[in-house]
Each structure stands twice: as structure tokens, then as C-alpha cells.
Chain A
């Protein structure tokens, strides 16, 4: 029983990571109807930036915040420079651009930082009071940090004029222009925010999976599964999906398929959702009267 409890709780901790990645995917999907395959690599690169700042001797939380700034700026820049020119292109073109981006960022990280696996520190000391037999301090801290970030993101979209404008621009670009919203910049901001959320996932995951250019491969798959479970057009669903996938993966890994086949769980979930309920568990049905 205690072991199951442990599996569920640490699944929730991983779920926070998947939830963040899923939310980043959903944000870009809502605005552009494309899945950003490079989301994980963007997060990985940001994590390397954090690692560099830490190597330079900066305190953890300062490095963390600077990394958020970097991730946001990089997201905006990628949208403006690389994605903008293919905005009107057919979907396959965009897919190829995203895959190209994935490979470029991955190779760039390998070239700059080498493929050697590096340890990445956790800001939560291993003997902290909030540790328990069920969850390590890092897992507790990880849940806390991801929850805070997700709450801030939702508050931003719900309560600020800029957040409202970004939702409007994603939904109805033509009408948004007619009320004076600069739609292009809103899309770029969406990429920036997605990059920022992803970088949190990267920095929180790195102490567990270690830092290397391929660290986000599996996590992106889980994040994608989470987004599909929740319904790829529903941010709340994506977050919930993240926690569901986290727990399923851990429990299945411990009791059903074994740790070696854990990643298969994500793939099974993806195929299962697409076969049975393509709109996801919480996919929104829009009510419209004409």
C-alpha cells in the first residue's frame, strides 16, 4: 500500500512536468493549429542556459528567473524569424519546419555543450523538512513550482487585458485586428509564453533525468499524450491530462509493464485516445446559435 502511495505521489510530481509541456503545446496549438514538435528541445536548450548561469556562480533562483526571460525571448524570436514566414504555408511545410527546428536545436546544444550527460542541481535540499518517505523534497518542490507557474499563466489569461487579447487573437484574428489588436505580436507572445512554461518543465526535470541534449525526448511524448488526453484545444484539460499521464505511467511502470517499457505507456495512451475519443476527455464542444 505504501509502495503504491509512493508511486502515485511521485507520478503526480512527474505529472506536473508533463502538464507544463502539454500546456505549452496546447497554447501554440490553439493559436495556430500546429503541434510544435520542437517544444521539448526549446526547453532543453533553456535548461542548458540555466546550467551555464549556475556554472558562472549565480544563485539558483536568479538563474531560474533569467532563464525564464531567455526562454520567453527565444520563443518570441523563433516565431518572428522562423515560423512567421511559413504562416500561410501548407500544414506539411510547417511540420517539416518544426522537425527541422527540433534537430537544429538538438544539434546546436550537442555542439555547444557536448553530448556528455551532466548533473543538474535541485534547488530543494535533500534533507528539507517537506521531504517524506512518499516524496523526495525535489518532487514536492517540483509540484509546487509547476503549480505556481500554471496558476500564474491562467491568472494572466483570465484577468489581464493582454491575456484577453491573446485569447481573442487565437480565436478570431480578423475581428481582433478590427479592435486594434496587433495579432502578429500576440502570436509571438504566445510562443514566448509557451517557451517559458516549457523551460520550467526542463529545469524541474533535469535533476531527475539529468541534463543532456536528448533529455526532453521522452518528456515531450508524455506531454503530447497529456495534451491529447485532456483535449488538445483545452488548457485545463491538458494540465489535468498531465497529472493523469504522470500517475498512469508510474503505476503502470511499477506494476504492469515494468520500468523498461514505461515510455510505451505514453504511446499506448496516444493511440488509445485517438482511436476512442479523438477530442480528448475534456475537449470542448462550442455552443453556437445562428
Chain B
């Protein structure tokens, strides 16, 4: 395992029942870096994130996080090590208030800085502060995505797993969210593993990219190299 990788998978297989989704996946996220996982629908991007958190999917192979093997551990324990997962569909608690959602994000923490962290996430997402008494289900899609990211940040994660944060959002909102993700990465050194269908904006944000096709990595490298690759440009960027 390279010394600088905060997350690394070795020969990772994953399946839903008899359906095998991931095959021998080798993936590394450098500490403090942003890695994006690109690919078509059904390529196994979401499954990769679920496999890391040991959630809803059966796995074989090794997953290392911050120097520990985490494969096979219960989701709750993996999260407690400092992995903030922003799932597909956002996974907010719709009938709880914004504030309660954020409090739940800090549920595992016993330190005294939780109150400060409310201010910290409100600084990134001022709109949440205006709506902190509101039911999460009544927020707009963009606001819910912001809430989901903020909830993960309340954990003080070392690594953020982001599952299509751009899904279903207006281009302007997407740009705003990605600008804030970059700021979070720069200011706090949070590593990120980003799954995206919107390849151009993902490649803009990420340092490195993996291209997934039917459960296998077919291409990997620095984002700049990937985005200039002929076949990627034609298949995923559309020019």
C-alpha cells in the first residue's frame, strides 16, 4: 500500500445476490486528494461506494482505510473511522428538521466542537442556516444535496464518498456545489471519492480519474490526461 493513499481497494469483488457487479477492482485515493470514478449507468460506480461502506452488497477482496483493513466490518464502525458517505438519492431524513439532520451527522462525536461545526457548515452553505428549523423534505433538490454534504461534514470525515452530487440539479446549482466541494478539500484537506455521470465537471474537480466499464477499471490516470483521451472525450464528454 502506497504510504500516501488514505483508501485503497485490492482485488475488490462485489455482488448483489448472484449478480456480480465489480471485478478485481484496484483503486486508491491519495490523502488529501480528489478522485473521480466515471462510467455509464450500471458500470458499478455506486456499488463501489457501497462496497467501501459494506452496505447492501456482498464483497470479497481487501479494503484499506487509513492503515486499517475495513472490509467486512459493520457500516456503523466504518463510518466511525471517518468516512462520510453522501449516498445516491441524498439520504436525508426527510421528516426531521435541517438542524436535526446536522445533529445526527455529529452523532458519533463526543468532543465539544460540535456547536462550532454548525457554524462551519453554515459558512459553506448559508442557505441551510436560513432553513434550519424547516423539515428536510420541504427543501429544494439543491438544498437537500447541500444538507446531505453538510451532514457528512459534521462527522469531521477524513474521506468523503460522494454519489452523484449533481444528480437532478440545475447547472448553476451544480457549479455552486462543486465550487464548495473544492473549497472544503482545500481548506480542510478532506479526501474525496466522487462518483459522477457528469464527466466534464467531475474531471475539472478531481486530480485523478478512473473509468469503469461493466465492473472493471479500463482506464486510470491524472484527470488532465483522462480528459484529453480520445475515446473518453467521445464517449463521456461529447466533443
Q: Is the CB of A179 within 8 A of B95?
A: no
User: Mask for B135-176, Cβ within 8 A of A = 1, else 0?
Assistant: 101111100000000011001000000000000000000000
Query: With A and B bound together, what is the CA distance between A171 and B135 in angstroms?
Result: 14
Distance from A155 Cβ to chain B, minimum over Cβ atoms (Å): 15
B80: CB under 8 A from chain A? yes
Partner of B138, one of A168, A180, A287: A287
A178-B53 in contact given A161-B103, A172-B93 (Cβ < 8 Å): yes
Residue of A nearest to B105 (CB): A179
Taking CB atoms and an 8 Å cut-off, the chain A residues in 132-185 that contact chain B are: 161, 164-165, 167-168, 171-172, 174-183
Residue of B nearest to A177 (CB): B75
Query: With A and B bound together, what is the CA distance between A275 and B100 in angstroms?
Result: 36
Query: With A and B bound together, what is the CA distance between A168 and B152 in angstroms?
Result: 15
Chain B residues, CB < 8 A from A179: 79, 104-105, 107-108, 151, 155
Chain B residues, CB < 8 A from A181: 76, 104, 107
Q: Is the CB of B87 within 8 A of A165?
A: no
Query: With A and B bound together, what is the CA distance between A177 and B155 in angstroms?
Result: 13
Q: Is the CB of B75 within 8 A of A178?
A: yes
Distance from B148 Cβ to chain A, minimum over Cβ atoms (Å): 9
B48: CB under 8 A from chain A? no
Chain B residues, CB < 8 A from A183: 76
Q: Is the CB of A168 within 8 A of B96?
A: yes
A180-B91 in contact given A174-B55, A289-B138, A289-B139 (Cβ < 8 Å): no
B219: CB under 8 A from chain A? no
Chain A residues, CB < 8 A from B140: 289
Residue of A nearest to B136 (CB): A288
Residue of A nearest to B79 (CB): A180
Chain A residues, CB < 8 A from B94: 171-172, 286, 288
Taking CB atoms and an 8 Å cut-off, the chain B residues in 161-196 that contact chain A are: none
Distance from A71 Cβ to chain B, minimum over Cβ atoms (Å): 27
Q: Is the CB of A171 within 8 A of B96?
A: yes
Q: Is the CB of A168 within 8 A of B104?
A: yes
A161-B107 in contact given A177-B76, A181-B76 (Cβ < 8 Å): yes
Residue of A nearest to B109 (CB): A180
Chain A residues, CB < 8 A from B53: 177-178
Chain B residues, CB < 8 A from A175: 87, 91-93
A290: CB under 8 A from chain B? yes
User: Mask for A249-290, Cβ within 8 A of B = 1, else 0?
Assistant: 000000000000000000000000000000000000011111
Q: Is the CB of A180 within 8 A of B107?
A: yes
Distance from A158 Cβ to chain B, minimum over Cβ atoms (Å): 10
| Known pairs A178-B152, A179-B108, A288-B94 / 6 extra A-B pairs, C-beta < 8 Å | A177-B74, A177-B76, A178-B53, A179-B151, A180-B155, A181-B76
28 contacts between A and B (CB under 8 A): A161-B107, A164-B104, A164-B107, A165-B107, A171-B93, A171-B95, A172-B93, A172-B94, A174-B55, A174-B56, A174-B87, A174-B91, A175-B87, A175-B92, A175-B93, A177-B55, A177-B74, A178-B79, A178-B87, A180-B76, A180-B79, A180-B108, A180-B155, A181-B76, A181-B107, A183-B76, A286-B95, A290-B141
Which 4 pairs, one residue from A and one from B, show the smallest C-beta to C-beta distance? A180-B108, A175-B91, A288-B137, A177-B75
